[in-house]
């Protein structure tokens, strides 16, 4: 987390994630806390709201494991 706060944001290789997941991660990693999505906004995000929770967890787990 310190690397995100003080350094460059991590990037995902092209094609490594859906546009919805990329937008979700970008919302989570917003450095400026006043612009960062709230928990309610993240729960309402299409990546979470329109997906099977188990599949979403697996996708996030794979993304984090590859970082």
Token pair listed for 67? 């970082």
Greatest alpha-carbon span in the chain: 34
Q: Give the pLDDT confidence score for residue 4 in this predicted structure.
A: 66
Token pair listed for 65? 């494991």
Q: Over the stretch 8-33, which tens digit does the pLDDT of each residue have?
A: 777 777 788 888 989 998 898 888 88
Structure-token match 């690397």, residue found: 3
Alpha-carbon gap, residue 9 to 13, rounded angstroms = 13
Domain boundaries of the chain, sorted by first residue: 2-6+16-65
Q: Could you tell me if residue 25 is left (phi over 0), alpha (psi between -120 and 50 degrees) or otherwise beta? A: alpha
């Amino acid at each position: 987390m310190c690397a995100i706060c003080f350094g460059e944001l991590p990037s995902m290789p092209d094609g490594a994630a859906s546009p919805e997941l990329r937008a979700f991660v970008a919302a989570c990693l917003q450095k400026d806390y006043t612009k960062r999505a709230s928990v309610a906004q993240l729960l309402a995000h299409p990546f979470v709201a329109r997906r099977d929770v188990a599949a979403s967890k697996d996708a996030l787990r794979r993304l984090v494991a590859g970082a």
